Structure 1
C-alpha cells in the first residue's frame, strides 16, 4: 500500500509532469499537395486575317518525345518573339504518347501566363531525320498588317501516282505546278505563298522536296512529312497559304478554276477577305458508324457557333482519316453539314494515327465569321 510520503511525492510531481506534456510539440499534420489542373487548349481562336504569319520548328533527333516537344516549342517561341502563337499543328512520329503535346503546350503557355493556342495533333510516318519525333507548325499574329488584302487557302494538290512510294518526283512536279496555277487563279504569285505543307509516301525524298519547294515558293515556310509508314504507291500532296494582292469580292470566295480539273466535292481555292478568321483545333471522331461521323461534324458545328460562325462559312477543311472506309463515309456525310453549292477548299488523306486509340478521324477547320 502506498505510504503517505509516496502519495505526497506523487502529488508534488504531478503539476511538473502535466507542464511537460503541454510543452511537447504537437505532431505535424501533413498537407497533401494537389497539382494545378492545366487548362485545355481552346477549341478555336478568332484572329485578324491581315496579321497572320506562319512558322515551323526545326527537326531534332535528341531525347524522347517530351523533350523534343519542349525543344520545338522553345524554337517556335524564339522565332515568334513578341508575336503571339495562336495555333499549333503537331505532326508526331513514333510510339510516344501524342497526348503529351497538348499537355506540354498548356504547361508551357500557362507558366508564361500567355493565352493558349488552339492545338491539333496528328500521328504520321517518318519526318526525314533519324530519331526525330515531332515537327510543329505555328500560326502567329503580327502587330502590323502583313496580309492587307487577305489570304488564299489552297487545297492539297498533287496526289497519288502509279510509281513506287519512294519515287515521288512526278507527283511533286504536279503538286508544284497545281499550287502555282491555284495561286495565280487567286490573283497571287509564287512569291506570295507563305506556307506549304507536303504529305508524302516516303521520307527518303524529303530533302529533295525541301529544295524543290524552296525554289518554287521562295517565301514559304515548309513542312514535309510521310503521311503513313506503309504506302504501295507514290504520294505527294501539298497544301498552301498565300497572300492576296487585291481584296476579294466578299468575305469568303470559293474558286474552282475550269482548267484545274474541278471537283464538286471541294474547291481548289478559298479566298478569305474577312477582317477576322476562325482557326479550330482538331475535333476527334470516335468509332466508325455513320452516327459517329455525324456527331463529329455536329460537335464542330457547335465550336463554330460559339465563335459566331457556322459550317456554311468554312473556308478550308482538313480531314485526317485512318482508313479508306472512313474516308468514304466522310465524303458521303460531310455535305449534310457543308454547303454543297459552295464546298470549302480541303485536304483529305490517310494518316498513321490520332491521339486516342478509339479515334477514327479528325476534322480541323478554317472559317470566317457570319
Structure 2
C-alpha cells in the first residue's frame, strides 16, 4: 500500500482565465476569441520577426486592429513599456502573439491601462498564465504581482511552437521546467500546485525526449499554472537579478536549474523525490543535469557572459530577496557558494 503524505492546511487561489488548446486553433478560432472579448479596437503586440505569421492569423479580423507595437525587448525595459502604453491609447484590448517578451510588453500595458489581454504564446515561457509582471531599468529587474495583468484568454496552438529553432525551443522548455521545480518550494506552494508541477515536469521531459511540441506546450501551460499559484522562490529571484544584468532569460533559467535543485535538495526531500519520479529516474539532480546536457544548454553562467567580478553583487542582491522559508538557508556565504558553482559549471 502506498503511503500518502499528510495533508496540512493550505490556501489555493484558483486564477481566472479561459484556455483554448489545440493544433490549429490560432488559425481557426482566434477571431472568435476576439469577438468573445467584445474588442473592436485592438492593440496588436508582436515581434517584427513574426510579421508574416501574425498577419495571416489576424487577417480575419484585420479591421479590428487599431494599432500595432513591434518594439518588444527581453526583460521589458521601462522605455519599451512606456512606448507600448502610448500605442495603446484609444484601444480596448491587447492581443499579444509571441514569446515571454511579447507577453511581458502586453502585461506592462495592462498594468496601467487595465485593458484585457488575449495571449497567443509561440514559446514555452508560461508568462501567459501568471499575474506576474516585470520591468527592467539601469541593470535592475523589478517584478510584481497584479491580477489585472493576467491574460483573460490564452490560445495555445502547437503549430506555432513547432517552428521554433531547436535551441530556442529547448531553452524555452527548460525555462518552463524551472517553473515546475520552483513551485515545489515556493512560498505559496500547496498540494494542488505540487500535483500540477509534477505533471508539468513529466510532460516537459517527454516533450524534450520526443521533440513533441504538443507535450511541451501542455507542460508549459501546467508549469506556468503551478508557478502562478505557488509564487517565486530562490531560482527566480536569482534569475531576475541576472536578467537585470542583461543575461538571456531562458538560457539563464536552463543553466541555473540543476545548480539550484542541488542546493535545495537536502532540505526538500519530498520535492526531489517527486521530480525524480516525473523525470523517470532515481536521482532528481542527476536526472535534471542529464536533461539540460541533452538539450545542449550551457552548464555555467560564465558561458552566458556573467563576469567573475559580478558574482558578489549577484549573490548579495539575491540573498536579500530569497523567501525566508527556502528549504536551505542562504546566509553565511551559502548564496555566494551557489552563485560560484553556477558560474563555474563543469569547470
Instruction: Return the structure number with greater helix share.
Output: 2
- Comparing both structures, which one devotes a greater share of its residues to strand? 1
Higher RCO, 1 vs 2 (CA within 8 Å, ≥6 residues apart): 1
TM-score, normalised via structure 2 length: 0.28
TM-score, with length taken from structure 1: 0.27
